[in-house]
C-alpha cells in the first residue's frame, strides 16, 4: 500500500506538510486547499498579483469544477449510502457522528463490519461513476415517451 506524501517515522496517513511539525494535517486543511484551488491568485511574470478593471484580484479555478466544500462530499456520500440501502445508524457511524439520547448509553456497538461493507459499496459506486460505467439516468418524461 502506498501512502500519499512522506510518512516515514511520522505515523500519520496525512501528515502536516511543514517539515518542523510532526503531526497530522489540521481538520480545516482540506477545506483551505479546496478554496485556494478554486480561486488561485493569478500573478504576472514577477510574481505580483493581477487585478481586473474593478480592482478585484484575478483568480484561476485550478480544479476546473464548480464551487464546493468538503462537507458537500460528506453529504453526497451519506445520501448515496442511504440510497444503497444502508441504515441511518451505519451512515452515522461512517460519518463519525456521536450517538444521541439513550442509544449513546445503551448501544456500544461500533458497526465496524457494516461500515466496511457500506464503504466498499460506496467505492464501487464511485468507481462506476468515474469510469463512466454507471447506469444512465432516464427521466420520467423520456421513459413515458419510449413506452
Residues 28-42 pLDDT 10s: 999 999 999 999 999
pLDDT tier, 2 (very low <50, low <70, confident <90, very high otherwise): very low
pLDDT at 1: 43
Question: How far, in Å, are 11, 52, 69, 101, 121 from residue 104 at the CA level?
Answer: 31, 54, 29, 6, 27
CA distance 31 to 33: 5
pLDDT tier, 4 (very low <50, low <70, confident <90, very high otherwise): low
Q: Is the domain of 140 the same as that of 95?
A: yes
Q: Is the domain of 147 the same as that of 123?
A: yes
pLDDT tier, 53 (very low <50, low <70, confident <90, very high otherwise): very high
pLDDT at 16: 85
Last residue of a domain, one of 21, 40, 68: 68
**SS3 assignment, position 2:** coil
User: Residue 124 has which C-alpha cell?
Assistant: 464501487
Residue 22 structural domain: 1-68
Q: Is the domain of 36 the same as that of 60?
A: yes
- Element containing residue 140 per DSSP (H, E): helix 140-146
**pLDDT tens digits, 101-139:** 999 999 999 999 999 999 999 999 999 999 988 766 666
Number of structural domains in the chain: 2
Instruction: Yes or no: say if 130 and 122 are a contact pair by the CB < 8 Å rule.
Output: no
Last residue of a domain, one of 68, 87, 120: 68
50 torsion bin: left (phi>0), alpha (psi -120 to 50), beta (else):
beta
pLDDT at 98: 95
Amino acid at each position: 500500500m502506498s501512502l500519499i506524501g512522506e510518512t516515514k517515522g511520522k505515523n500519520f496517513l496525512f501528515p502536516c506538510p511543514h517539515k518542523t511539525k510532526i503531526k497530522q494535517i489540521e481538520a480545516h486543511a482540506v477545506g483551505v486547499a479546496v478554496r485556494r484551488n478554486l480561486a488561485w491568485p493569478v500573478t504576472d511574470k514577477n510574481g505580483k498579483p493581477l487585478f481586473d478593471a474593478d480592482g478585484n484580484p484575478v483568480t484561476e479555478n485550478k480544479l476546473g469544477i464548480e464551487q464546493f466544500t468538503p462537507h458537500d462530499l460528506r453529504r453526497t456520500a451519506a445520501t448515496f449510502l442511504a440510497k444503497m440501502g444502508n441504515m441511518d445508524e451505519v451512515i452515522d457511524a461512517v460519518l463519525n457522528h456521536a450517538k444521541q439520547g439513550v442509544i449513546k448509553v445503551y448501544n456500544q456497538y461500533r458497526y465496524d463490519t457494516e461500515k466496511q461493507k457500506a464503504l466498499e459499496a460506496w467505492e464501487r459506486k464511485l468507481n462506476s461513476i468515474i469510469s463512466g460505467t454507471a447506469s444512465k439516468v432516464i427521466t420520467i418524461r423520456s421513459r413515458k415517451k419510449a413506452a
